């Protein structure tokens, strides 16, 4: 009843919030200032202190595997000054405090699933955590990952994606239209079933996904519609465990493989103690009796040596059974050996003595065991390399009586040793004598140029023709002259360049011929004239040079491809004579690929693009324009990465003018020459590696 009243109170506060009585814009920014944890019996009290009282209970959800409780506080900042805190109080291991914009999320990391009850007390939020009730007599355990909102409408699944994680786990991502959809997870036999309440799935997503080729613990994923709900059935294999979490509209479930360790009491991928928890309260109890109790609790077979005895006082509460067993053995000087479902417990000295005798007997058997000879046909490696590998003195596979010989013509390895050592050699050859995977590497070297040039110049000439009998200058009837071109002016022949052009600043571009525009002005009597010639050239060019060297090589084998010329030049020798030497100007690609276990490619790259330079060399040598990139890169199979780039830009603005006259307004351009150059050059190197399938050819 108390919980119902508090729930109704929380709903009432939420309604008032929706009506605008406590608008988020009007609420001052809150802050989480303190967090305290106190253990009281089986209950765990967590107190969160805020700067201002909370207006409503925060949104919260819990996760069963791993056991977590998350609470979201809007308009709240993290005032603790840290993002994580370790407690190790009861079943609470640690807490993560993460702030994203104006929202703060508190995540409680638990050792097992627990229920919680929140209460607002002034500036404090009190959380009472209690252990979840054990389900008795139920064959299938259902994890209520998230409860569907009572007012939530029917949602849908937008997409389903399957990926392989870096540790070999299967990651299934479900994109939902509503983050408040109800999700239940349960295990039915060897399958994992995920039910989405009031969630529809489109027709194209209702299918069977065969994901065997991904090499994960999951073989298939089946999605179907069941009335108003959607059911996803995951079919794993081997030993596995699952983990589920949700971020906004994305629900993710991971299925991780479990590598079985025969010496480990409880199998699982997580470290530390993982057994079911138990409570022990014994006063001066016999150790053998206590071990019997633990064996009956776990259902494992225990063999206790006759030399184990004595009494112990033990008080443990909610401790994993494997940790309790470890405590007992440490206190009494015992050790354990596990073989399958059987646990042998004896004093440490007794177990060490038995193992020593066993090892010594194995050595004696190895010295007396008869030798056998076996031949191994080596297919992909050289037999001598295998011989050097098994006879390596740092880690030999052969016994002191063993030997190995090779036959180079047939590439056969002959090994003479005991039966056990021959098995080791056979297993090693099966792992190393495999075909090397091929990698096709394509490099695209793109060199783009964008050039712009503008030249503007002027030539100016003026002259006057005097009548007959006038006073002349220079013994000619033309006092001032200097024609731009030879021609006839006013019916008379003008001299060609007799006295020069008065202004001679034409356009002189680096390349190309400028265009000209000429203008001639004269009076009515045709005795005075003005000649002007404007020359200009504007050039705009774009170019792109693409080089695409390709090379195929084996995994972890260096490959080189080159194309270019060798330029001869003379050099002096020690005797004083000259000799001809050559220098390379090549486009080369040197690469060493390494295929990673997750299907990506690690490459050591050395790319050169050398071209002969137009610069003077000073006589003896040869100038080479060099562009060189040397690096390492990790690229997805078939992906493209830019490993280097060079960008250069040259801007040149030059003006030639006549002093004073070139600065005159309006007419100053007649006495100036201007040249503008803007050149851009960019070099990019793209690398695309592709793994060649063993049964396919790359086109």
pLDDT (tens digit per residue) in 78-113? 888 888 888 888 888 888 888 877 788 888 888 887
Average pLDDT, the chain: 77
- Strand-pairing partners, residue 608, are 588, 628
| Predicted confidence (pLDDT) at residue 65 exceeds the cutoff of 80 | no
Q: What is the mean pLDDT of residues 165-188?
A: 85
Query: For a pLDDT cut of 90, what percent of the chain falls above it?
Result: 7
pLDDT (tens digit per residue) in 641-677? 888 777 888 888 888 888 877 778 877 777 788 888 8
Q: What is the mean pLDDT of residues 631-645?
A: 86
CA distance 441 to 231: 44
Q: Tell me the two tokens of residue 408.
A: 């180079």
Coarse DSSP helix, strand, coil percentages of the chain, rounded to the nearest 5 percent? 15, 50, 35
Closest listed residue to residue 133, CA positions, set 14, 42, 237, 11: 42
What integer pLDDT is reported at residue 272 of this predicted model? 60
For Cα atoms 297, 299, 300, give the angle at the middle one, nearest 5 degrees: 115
CA distance 74 to 100: 10
| Predicted confidence (pLDDT) at residue 461 exceeds the cutoff of 80 | no
CA distance 529 to 483: 10
The backbone torsions φ and ψ at residue 422, rounded to the nearest 5 degrees and listed phi first, read -65, -35
What integer pLDDT is reported at residue 478 of this predicted model? 40
Q: Tell me the two tokens of residue 154.
A: 């029917």
| Predicted confidence (pLDDT) at residue 1 exceeds the cutoff of 60 | no
Q: Tell me the two tokens of residue 519.
A: 């203008």
CA distance 246 to 146: 9
Confidence grade of residue 587 (pLDDT, cut at 50, 70, 90): confident
Higher pLDDT, 319 or 442: 442
pLDDT (tens digit per residue) in 217-238? 899 999 999 888 899 999 998 8
CA distance 475 to 472: 6
Contact present, 70 and 105 (Cβ < 8 Å): yes
Over its C-alpha atoms, the chain yields an Rg (Å, rounded) of: 44
| Predicted confidence (pLDDT) at residue 4 exceeds the cutoff of 60 | no
| Predicted confidence (pLDDT) at residue 505 exceeds the cutoff of 90 | no
Q: Report the sign of the C-alpha dihedral through residues 152, 154, 160, 164, in that order.
A: positive
Closest listed residue to residue 550, CA positions, set 535, 562, 541: 562
3-class secondary structure, 13: helix
| Predicted confidence (pLDDT) at residue 471 exceeds the cutoff of 70 | no
Q: Which long-range contacts (CB under 8 A, 24 or more apart) does 242-246 make?
A: 242/65, 242/185, 242/192, 243/65, 243/66, 244/63, 244/64, 244/65, 244/143, 244/145, 244/183, 244/185, 245/63, 246/61, 246/145, 246/146, 246/179, 246/183
Confidence grade of residue 133 (pLDDT, cut at 50, 70, 90): low
What integer pLDDT is reported at residue 130 of this predicted model? 84
Least confident of 101-105, 279-283, 293-297, 550-554: 279-283
CA distance 576 to 603: 46
CA distance 596 to 90: 43
Confidence grade of residue 525 (pLDDT, cut at 50, 70, 90): low
Closest listed residue to residue 605, CA positions, set 615, 593, 587, 620: 593
Angle between helices 419-432 and 383-390 (to 10 degrees): 130
What integer pLDDT is reported at residue 618 of this predicted model? 54
The backbone torsions φ and ψ at residue 92, rounded to the nearest 5 degrees and listed phi first, read -90, 115
CA distance 405 to 413: 6
- Strand-pairing partners, residue 583, are 567
- E-assigned strand segments in 111-258: 114-121, 124-131, 142-146, 155-164, 170-176, 182-188, 191-197, 199-200, 208-210, 218-226, 229-236, 240-247, 250-257
For residue 670, how far is the Cα from the chain centroid? 63
Q: What is the mean pLDDT of residues 150-161?
A: 75
- Tell me the three-class secondary structure of 631-656, residue by residue: EEEEECCCCCEEEEEEEEEEEEEEEE
CA distance 500 to 497: 5
What integer pLDDT is reported at residue 282 of this predicted model? 74
Query: What pTM, to 2 d.p., does this model score?
Result: 0.43
What integer pLDDT is reported at residue 617 of this predicted model? 55
pLDDT (tens digit per residue) in 370-422? 888 999 999 988 899 888 888 888 878 888 888 899 988 899 999 998 888 89
Confidence grade of residue 27 (pLDDT, cut at 50, 70, 90): very low
Q: Strand order in 218-226's β-sheet?
A: 142-146, 182-188, 191-197, 229-236, 218-226, 208-210
What integer pLDDT is reported at residue 142 of this predicted model? 55
pLDDT (tens digit per residue) in 425-438? 998 898 888 888 88
What integer pLDDT is reported at residue 228 of this predicted model? 86
| Predicted confidence (pLDDT) at residue 114 exceeds the cutoff of 70 | yes
Q: Tell me the two tokens of residue 389.
A: 């590998």
CA distance 693 to 34: 58
């Amino acid at each position: 009843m108390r919980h119902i009243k508090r729930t109704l109170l929380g709903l009432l506060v939420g309604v008032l919030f929706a009506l605008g009585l406590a608008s988020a814009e009007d609420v001052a920014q809150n802050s989480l200032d303190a967090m305290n944890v106190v253990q009281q019996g089986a209950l765990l009290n967590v107190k969160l202190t805020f700067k201002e009282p909370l207006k409503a209970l925060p949104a919260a959800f819990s996760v069963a595997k791993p056991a977590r409780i998350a609470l979201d506080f809007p308009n709240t900042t993290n005032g603790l000054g840290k993002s994580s805190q370790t407690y190790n109080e009861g079943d609470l291991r640690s807490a993560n405090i993460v702030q994203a914009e104006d929202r703060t999320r508190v995540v409680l990391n638990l050792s097992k699933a627990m229920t919680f009850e929140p209460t607002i007390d002034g500036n404090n939020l009190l959380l009472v955590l209690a252990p979840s009730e054990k389900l008795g007599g139920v064959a299938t355990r259902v994890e209520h990952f998230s409860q569907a909102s009572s007012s939530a409408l029917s949602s849908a699944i937008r997409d389903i994606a399957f990926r392989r994680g870096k540790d070999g786990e299967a990651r299934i991502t479900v994109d939902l239209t509503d983050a408040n959809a109800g999700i239940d997870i349960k295990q039915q036999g060897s399958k994992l079933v995920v039910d989405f309440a009031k969630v529809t799935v489109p027709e194209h997503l209702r299918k069977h996904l065969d994901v065997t080729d991904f090499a994960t613990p999951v073989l298939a994923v089946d999605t179907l519609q069941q009335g108003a709900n959607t059911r996803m059935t995951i079919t794993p294999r081997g030993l596995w465990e699952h983990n589920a979490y949700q971020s906004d509209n994305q629900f993710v479930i991971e299925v991780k493989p479990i590598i079985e360790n025969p010496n480990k009491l409880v199998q699982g991928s997580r470290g530390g103690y993982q057994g079911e928890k138990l409570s022990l309260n014994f006063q001066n109890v016999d150790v053998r009796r206590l071990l019997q109790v633990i064996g009956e609790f776990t259902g494992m077979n225990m063999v206790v040596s006759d030399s184990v005895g004595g009494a112990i006082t033990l008080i443990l509460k909610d401790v994993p059974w494997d940790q309790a067993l470890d405590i007992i053995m440490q206190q009494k000087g015992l050790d354990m050996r596990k073989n399958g479902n059987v646990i042998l417990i004896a004093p440490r000295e007794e177990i060490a003595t038995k193992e020593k005798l066993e090892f010594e007997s194995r050595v004696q058997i190895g010295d007396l065991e008869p030798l056998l000879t076996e031949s191994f046909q080596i297919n992909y490696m050289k037999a001598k390399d295998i011989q050097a590998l098994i006879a390596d003195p740092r880690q030999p596979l052969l016994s002191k009586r063993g030997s190995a010989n090779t036959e180079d013509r047939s590439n056969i390895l002959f090994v003479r040793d005991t039966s056990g050592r021959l098995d080791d050699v056979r297993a090693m050859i099966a792992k190393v004598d495999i075909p090397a995977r091929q990698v096709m590497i394509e490099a695209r070297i793109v060199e783009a140029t964008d050039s712009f040039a503008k030249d503007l110049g002027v030539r100016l000439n003026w002259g006057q023709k005097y009548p007959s009998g006038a006073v002349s200058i220079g013994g000619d009837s033309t006092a001032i002259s200097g024609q731009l071109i030879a021609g006839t002016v006013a019916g008379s022949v003008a001299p060609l360049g007799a006295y020069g052009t008065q202004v001679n600043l034409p356009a002189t571009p680096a390349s190309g011929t400028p265009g000209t525009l000429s203008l001639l002005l004269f009076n009515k009597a045709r005795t005075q004239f003005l000649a002007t010639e404007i020359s200009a050239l504007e050039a705009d060019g774009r170019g792109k040079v693409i080089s695409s060297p390709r090379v195929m090589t084996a995994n972890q084998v260096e490959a080189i491809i080159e194309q270019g010329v060798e330029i001869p030049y003379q050099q002096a020798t020690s005797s004083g004579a000259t000799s001809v030497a050559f220098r390379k100007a090549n486009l080369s690609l040197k690469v060493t690929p390494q295929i990673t276990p997750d299907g990506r490619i690690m490459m050591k790259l050395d790319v050169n693009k050398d071209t002969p330079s137009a610069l003077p060399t000073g006589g003896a040598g040869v100038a080479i324009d060099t562009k060189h990139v040397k690096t390492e890169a990790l690229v997805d199979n078939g992906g493209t990465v830019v490993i280097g780039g060079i960008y250069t830009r040259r801007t040149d603005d030059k003006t030639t003018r006549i002093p004073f006259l070139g600065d005159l307004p309006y007419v100053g351009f007649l006495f100036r020459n201007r040249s503008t150059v803007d050149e851009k050059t960019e070099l990019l190197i793209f690398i695309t590696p592709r793994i060649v399938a063993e049964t396919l050819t790359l086109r």
